[in-house]
Amino acid sequence: MHAPISRPLSILYVGDLTPGNTCTQRRQALFDIGSSITSVDLTPPGPRKDRSAWERVRRRLLGPRDRTDANRQLLEAVRRNPFDLVWMDKGLVIEATTLKEIKQQQPRCLIVGYAPDDMYARHNQSRQFRRHLRCYDHFFTTKSYNVHELQSLGCPRVSFVGNAFDPHTHRPIQVTPDERQRYGGLVGFIGTWEQARATSLFRLAAAGVGVRVWGNSWEHCRRRLDHLQIERRALYGEEYAVAINAFAINLCFLRKQNRDLQTTRSVEIPACGAFMLAERTEEHRALFSEGVEAEFFGSDDELIDKVRYYLAHPEDRERIAAAALRRCTTSGYSYRHRMESMLFQAGARAAVIPSVVPMAAHGMAMELA
């Protein structure tokens, strides 16, 4: 076990640093706690995906291409400077040989992994990821069921941590009438297309409720309904926060392909001081008290009933949204608090700030045996 480090940390941060994504928000949180950070960007140049048949076969056999030469950048960085910790944010292109070389060069440097996706699912993995799992000193996942699964793949120490929000981005915003017209409406959902989500939205629109949808891959949705407005564009960063604030009701569907029990929007919506109506799970109910800090549904019929009720009772929406915003703060759901907690668990911090403590009490940051 590594002795905790009490001075400011020197961190080599590896991840997809596309502006507005959650990886950049986690890196910002490390800046906020005073860390010195050297970054290796995994964002591939040019188109995000090569859809050719050969590239798909190659990816399955050999893993994704290291288009930013990240493995070389990592090794050059550790040869030039000492680091307390390498933070690997879903490093799908990083080879096991690279992480082993880092340990040889700097034996006391912690290698910590993090992923917001279901990393036991093959569509989220890579050959490199499966081979380098054994090299982590500690790996953090937002999927509780991944703890035992990743351990079964050889990862020595895995912990579950709840999702988080970025206070620089996800915050109450006084939207203008123009912004409300441009982004918002009565009921909204911001997220990628999935058939189960589309089916629920069809039911809601067919019941006469106006719904507006933003997100990727909604070209799969061929059906047209009078009350369903699909924008077919993703929102990130400031636009995303403005849109959340511009809806009376924000829907929070979980991604079935990733077996989600909570997701980033589960805390991003409440952190904006907005009203959230989410799928009911035990993890959602651990994050927010039902009917007090958020509302939940377990079927399309319940979804329709609750949308109709809360559209007719704005004072209840406002009360619940305000309580959820307080909960985000008092229970330490920000990335700064989550990162402090993870660093402490990994042995890289001597102490955590007091507001982190409730996370463990609410079951959102713990190691599962």
Whether 137 and 42 map to the same domain: the answer is yes
Q: Is the pLDDT of residue 355 over 50?
A: no
Does any domain span residue 322?
yes
pLDDT at 44: 83
Q: Are residues 356 and 315 in the same domain?
A: no
Q: Are residues 312 and 346 in the same domain?
A: no
pLDDT at 58 over 90: no
Query: Quick one: 88 and 185 in the same domain?
Result: no
Is there a domain that residue 59 lies in?
yes
Are residues 190 and 145 part of one domain? Answer: no
Co-location of 55 and 132 in the same domain: yes
Of 27, 73, 41, 271, give the one whose Cα is nearest residue 173.
Answer: 271
294 and 195 in a common domain = yes
In a domain, 142, yes or no: yes
What does the pLDDT look like over 132-185, one tens digit per residue?
999 999 999 999 999 999 999 999 999 999 999 999 999 999 999 999 999 999
Residue 278 domain flag: yes
Residues 69-91, mean pLDDT to the nearest whole number:
97
Domain of 322, in residue numbers: 177-330
pLDDT at 367: 30
For residue 70, pLDDT over 80 is answered with yes
Question: 181 and 130 in one domain?
Answer: no
Residues 281 and 349 in one domain: no
Residue 127 domain-assigned (yes or no)? yes
User: 274: domain CATH number?
Assistant: 3.40.50.2000
pLDDT at 59 (0 to 100): 60
* HEC-encoded secondary structure of the chain: CCCCCCCCCEEEEEECCCCCCHHHHHHHHHHHCCCEEEEEECCCCCCCCCCCHHHHHHHHHHCCCCCCCHHHHHHHHHHHCCCCEEEEECCCCCCHHHHHHHHHHCCCCEEEEEECCCCCCHHHCCHHHHHHHHHCCEEEECCCCHHHHHHHCCCCCEEEECCCECCCCCCCCCCCHHHHHHHCEEEEEECCCCHHHHHHHHHHHHCCCCEEEECCCHHHCCCCCCCEEECCCCCCHHHHHHHHHHEEEEEECCCHHHCCCCCCHHHHHHHCCCCEEEECCHHHHHHCCECCCEEEECCHHHHHHHHHHHHHCHHHHHHHHHHHHHHHHHCCCEHHHHHHHHHHHHCCCCCCCHHHCHHHHCCCEEECC
Within-domain flag for 345 = yes
pLDDT tens digit sequence for 264-320: 999 999 999 999 999 999 999 999 999 999 999 999 999 999 999 999 999 999 999
pTM for the whole thing? 0.89
Task: Look at the chain and report how many structural domains it folds into.
Answer: 2
Q: Work out the mean pLDDT of the chain and round it to a whole number.
A: 90
* Same domain, yes or no: 201 and 325: yes
User: Quick one: pLDDT at residue 99?
Assistant: 98
Asked if residue 319 belongs to a domain, the reply is yes
Here the tokens at position 196 are 């189960």
Mean pLDDT of 353-357: 40
- Do 111 and 202 lie in one domain? The reply is no
Residues 113 and 89: their CA atoms lie apart, in Å, by: 6
Q: Per residue in 102-138, pLDDT tens?
A: 999 999 999 999 999 999 999 999 999 999 999 999 9
pLDDT score, position 6: 61
Instruction: Please report whether residue 261 resides in a domain.
Output: yes
Q: Quote the pLDDT of residue 307.
A: 98
Verify that 124 and 204 share a domain, yes or no.
no
Say which residues have a Cβ less than 8 Å from residue 246's Cβ, sequence separation at least 6.
Answer: 175, 179, 180, 182, 183, 184, 185, 188
